[in-house]
Amino acid sequence: MTRRDGESHTQTLERSATQRPRLYRVLLLNDDYTPMEFVVRVLELYFRKTEQEAELIMLAVHHKGQGVAGIYTRDVAETKVAQVTDRARQEGYPLRLVSEPET
Ligand code: TYC
């Protein structure tokens, strides 16, 4: 949209409402020590996966080294990485997660 301000003829381009925020993938990384059950529980509790989805993602990470736990705006992605990392450390597990921008 364009708006004219009297004599100054200032034009304001209003386009922010149609800009979508950049999205970030939360990646789950494999390790040799975190129990499979803990990873499944994390995917259910923090990433809202069903038990079946969680088991498939966990096994994919176990076999391939990493996998996508979820896709969020930056703040949400970073918060989930922090919360799950804290939870894993409290339990004594070395589980690692990272967030990275899509495309
Ligand atoms: N590799 C782990 C094991 O054999 C299981 C595991 C899966 C750990 C996914 C981390 O992100 C992970 N106990």
Confidence of residue 29 (pLDDT cuts 50, 70, 90): very high
Q: Is residue 33 part of a domain?
A: yes
Atom of ligand 1 nearest to the CA of 95: 10
Q: Considering the entire predicted model, what is its pTM?
A: 0.85
Tell me whether residue 73 is in a domain.
yes
Beta carbon of 102 within 6 Å of any ligand 1 atom: no
Q: What is the pLDDT of residues 4-22, one digit of tens each?
A: 444 555 666 666 678 999 9
The letter for the amino acid at 46 is: Y
* Residue 72 identity: Y
* Probe target for ligand 1 pocket from 29, 30, 58, with the most ligand atoms within 8 Å of CB: 30
Gap between the Cα atoms of 11 and 53, Å rounded = 50
CATH assignment of the domain containing 50: 3.30.1390.10
Its ipTM equals: 0.99
CA distance 15 to 1: 8
Is residue 30 lining ligand 1, measured as CB closer than 6 Å?
A: yes
Structural domain boundaries, residue 31? 23-101
